[in-house]
Amino acid sequence: MALLNFKKRDAVENGPVNPTVEAFLQGYSIEVMPRTAEKVEDFRALLPEDTRVYIAHIEGTPIEDMVKTAKRIAAEGYPVMPHFPARIIKDAATLENWISMYQGEAGVDQALLLAGGVNNPHGDFDSSMQLLETGLFDKAGFKRLHVAGHPEGNKDIDPDGSTKNVDDALRWKQKFSETTDADMALATQFAFDAKPIIAWADSLKEAGIDLPIHIGIAGPAKLQTLIKFAIACGVGPSLKVLQKRAMDVSKLLLPYEPTDVLTELANHNAANPDFNITNVHFFPLGGIKTNANWAINNGGASAKPANS
């Protein structure tokens, strides 16, 4: 990733940058939705060149709005990775049409495949594995395919609180990755505590699952906002980090920032060169601009100056 043309923040003016966090943030990605992307006048004013931008596909969002957003962000120079939620895709013909629209109008050649937050499938698909089995992404020549990871499990997939089904799915995806020319990786749900994240990542490596992990991190936001999203998204044990913070009156009204969790992960990464968490993926729950500025202020590259 070319960073030479980007300005780091002025360390003298804003305080020192933690070099391990700075290194860990390089190549981060960020997630948007059509309605949140509309609030950004120009992504080039916020994000480093080549930042991967995921576009979340929420149930009820017309595919035309998704493609329009992908086309606009791609035109601003960013690689776009739209979500393909299996449970809202009616059938293989619909999937093929979506792929064709994304490619034809926005030049998309990468995708995040996931089950999707819908209880009852709208059609033939129930899981990302079924989407992969169609062979349509391979046929279309997609260069990169990401699938979901769950550091704290997923009760929608394992209602009994275990990780059996999630683990079985990861083993299947690992085997699939060995049969495709596309680069594959795990993009995870966000969490707030580094220790269970590290333990989960290490457990995958021990199980022979070597897909690179792009760890989900919630960007700066009001504490109440994060707790609401965490509960809605089924975040597990690390929710206690937020609950503990909420009990501290001195911190209750201050916005949450992911400094602690990222510092611990970055330090572990620096001490363990074979660590399988390779990238940070931000969920900008407090706003895209707020998240982008936080990344810049903590060592991430900034956008090009307007006159560059």
CATH of the domain at 205: 3.20.20.220
Average pLDDT, the chain: 87
CA separation (Å) from 4 to 25, 62, 263?
Answer: 15, 39, 24
**pLDDT confidence band for 117 (50 / 70 / 90):** confident
Residue 230 lies in a domain: yes
- Work out whether strand 80-85 and strand 213-218 pair parallel, antiparallel, or are unpaired: unpaired
Q: Which domain holds residue 89?
A: 11-297
Structurally, the chain folds into a number of domains equal to 1
Residue 92 lies in a domain: yes
Residue 233 lies in a domain: yes
Q: Which of 8-12, 35-39, 164-168, 188-192 has the highest mean pLDDT?
A: 35-39
Residue 120 lies in a domain: yes
Q: Up-side HSE of residue 39: CA atoms within 13 Å toward CB?
A: 10
Residue 86 lies in a domain: yes
In this model, does residue 251 exceed pLDDT 70? no
How buried is residue 186: exposed, middle or buried, by Cβ count under 10 Å (0-12/13-18/19+)? buried
The rounded distance, in Å, linking the Cα atoms of 55 and 73 is: 10
The rounded distance, in Å, linking the Cα atoms of 96 and 162 is: 34
Residue 43 lies in a domain: yes
In this model, does residue 249 exceed pLDDT 60? no
Structure tokens at 305: 């100056």
The rounded distance, in Å, linking the Cα atoms of 288 and 78 is: 15
In this model, does residue 166 exceed pLDDT 90? no
Residue 1 lies in a domain: no
Structure tokens at 289: 């601009």
Looking at residue 3, what is its pLDDT?
Answer: 31
Per-residue buried b or exposed e for 239-265, using 16+ beta carbons within 10 Å of the residue's own CB: bebbeebeeeeeeeeeebbbeebbbbb
Q: Please list, in sequence order, all residues whose beta carbon lies within 8 angstroms of the beta carbon of residue 104, skipping any fewer than 6 positions away.
A: none
Contacts 24+ apart (CB under 8 A), 137-141: 137/99, 137/111, 137/113, 137/182, 138/180, 138/181, 138/182, 140/99, 140/100, 140/103, 140/109, 141/109
Residue 145 lies in a domain: yes
